[in-house]
Each structure stands twice: as structure tokens, then as C-alpha cells.
């Protein structure tokens, strides 16, 4: 992840998030509840649990982003689209971990219950709409100057552009996991790398 302008990064994140929305809508329309609740024989999460995990993580990040924006006033420049943006060290490391194929355990606070809530994909999409609204609202701020702590640990500090990138990259990781689980269900075999994959 290299330095870019804030406007370019916002557009790329919005496009990536919209692509995830489209995939989620297809799943919502074509996936029966029994498939959402099916768990791989290796003990990994079900598709519904993956969406539940995303909801839990997104809710905490979105709340932190909301607070960071609410405690600041826009600079008055109107937009920072041409302002350079680059990830912080913490943001870069977190995104790299989500892009890696290596397994990792989710934080305890974001581990899903055995059965996902009703309308779990619709609830995920509702958080996606909030993400889009916050990205749009954030264009009145300099991303480098809006700082927040990770919901997992107050010791992990990042800028708001990192937080947006983490949300999108984290979801992309789990959509790959969902594809593996769905393939395992359809083939009747255990998919690889699904257990507690973050």
C-alpha cells in the first residue's frame, strides 16, 4: 500500500466496498438458511458466522470512526481530495495481515455465536451503507490528522484512512473464506483454512 491522494484512496475504497455489496446481495438472494448455518467438519465457521464476525468488527470500527469525526470540525477547505495520504505503520501492518493467506485467530470480542442472527447478510449490508456514508463525510477532513485507536487495543493508533482500508481489506479476506466454505458445502468436503480465520 503506497502513498496516494486522499481522493484516489476514497474512490478505490468505495469501489471495492461496492463490489463486496454486490457479492453479498447475490449470496443473500441465492443462499438458503441451511447453507448459511452449515459448518465445515473441521470445526470452522459457517457462512452466517463469518458475516456475524464482520458485523461485530465493523460495528466497533464504525463507532470509532464516527467518534473521531464527531470530535473534530471540518477545516473549512471543503475537500481534501488532492491531499496526499499514506498509511501509518500500524495500518500498513494490519492490512498486510489481512492480505496474507495465513490463518489467524479473531479477537475474542469478535468471535461469532454458534448461530448467526436472522437477516445476517442484510445486517452486514446495513453496516456497509454506514461505511459509505462515513467515507463520504470524511472528505471534509484531512485523513492524516484524524486519528483513532483500534477497537482491539488503545495502544494501536491509526489514521482514519487506515481504518477505512482495514474495514474493506478485512471484508475482502472473509469473502474469500466464504467462497471456500460454499465450495466445501457444495462438494461435501472440508474446505481449507476456515477455522477462526480473521
In a domain, 195, yes or no: no
Q: Is residue 198 pLDDT above 70, yes or no?
A: no
Q: What is residue 42's predicted lDDT score, i.e. its pLDDT?
A: 84
Number of domains in the chain: 1
Q: What is residue 74's predicted lDDT score, i.e. its pLDDT?
A: 73
89-117 confidence digits (pLDDT tens): 999 999 999 999 888 889 999 999 999 99
Q: Which three cell numbers stand for residue 57?
A: 468488527
Portion of the chain with pLDDT greater than 70, in percent:
92
Q: Which three cell numbers stand for residue 93?
A: 501492518
In a domain, 194, yes or no: no
In a domain, 193, yes or no: no
Residue 5's beta-bridge partner residues?
Answer: 84
Report the Cα 151 to chain-centroid distance in Å. Answer: 13
In a domain, 109, yes or no: yes
In a domain, 192, yes or no: no
In a domain, 196, yes or no: no
> 122 and 28 in contact (C-beta within 8 Å)?
yes
Per-residue pLDDT band at 191 (split at 50, 70, 90):
very low
Give the start-end residues of each E strand in the chain.
4-5, 84-85, 147-149, 157-159
In a domain, 81, yes or no: yes
Q: Which three cell numbers stand for residue 4?
A: 496516494
25-72 confidence digits (pLDDT tens): 999 999 999 999 999 988 899 999 999 999 999 999 999 999 999 998
How many angstroms separate the CA atoms of 81 and 84, rounded?
A: 8
Mean pLDDT score of the chain? 91
Mean pLDDT on 177-197:
72
How many angstroms separate the CA atoms of 101 and 193, rounded?
A: 8
In a domain, 144, yes or no: yes
Phi, psi (degrees; rounded to nearest 5) at 20: -65, -40
Between 11 and 74, the higher pLDDT residue: 11
Please choose, from the candidates 49, 29, 28, 55, the residue with its C-alpha nearest in 3D space to the C-alpha of residue 37.
49
In this structure, of 1-15, 53-67, 82-96, 125-139, the range with the lowest mean pLDDT score is: 1-15
CATH of the domain at 65: 1.20.120
- What domain range is 23 assigned to? 4-187
Mean pLDDT on 20-25:
98
How many angstroms separate the CA atoms of 64 and 13, rounded?
A: 18
Q: What is residue 148's predicted lDDT score, i.e. its pLDDT?
A: 96
Amino acid at each position: 500500500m503506497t502513498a496516494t491522494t486522499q481522493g484516489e484512496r476514497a474512490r478505490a475504497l468505495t469501489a471495492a466496498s461496492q463490489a463486496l455489496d454486490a457479492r453479498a446481495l447475490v449470496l443473500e438472494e441465492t443462499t438458503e438458511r441451511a447453507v448459511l448455518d452449515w459448518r465445515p467438519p473441521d470445526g470452522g465457521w459457517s457462512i452466517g458466522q463469518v458475516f456475524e464476525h464482520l458485523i461485530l468488527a465493523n460495528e466497533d470500527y464504525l463507532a470509532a470512526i464516527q467518534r473521531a469525526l464527531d470530535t473534530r470540525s471540518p477545516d473549512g477547505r471543503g475537500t481534501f481530495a488532492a491531499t496526499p495520504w499514506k498509511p501509518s505503520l500500524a495500518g500498513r501492518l494490519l492490512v498486510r495481515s489481512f492480505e496474507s493467506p495465513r490463518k489467524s485467530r479473531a479477537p475474542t470480542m469478535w468471535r461469532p455465536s454458534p448461530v448467526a442472527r436472522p437477516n445476517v447478510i442484510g445486517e452486514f449490508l446495513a453496516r456497509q451503507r454506514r461505511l459509505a456514508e462515513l467515507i463520504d463525510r470524511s472528505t471534509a477532513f484531512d485523513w492524516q490528522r484524524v486519528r483513532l485507536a483500534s477497537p482491539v487495543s488503545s495502544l494501536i493508533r491509526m489514521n482514519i484512512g487506515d481504518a477505512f482500508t482495514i474495514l474493506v481489506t478485512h471484508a475482502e479476506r472473509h469473502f474469500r473464506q466464504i467462497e471456500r466454505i460454499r465450495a466445501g458445502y457444495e462438494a461435501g468436503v472440508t474446505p481449507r483454512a476456515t477455522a477462526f480465520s480473521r
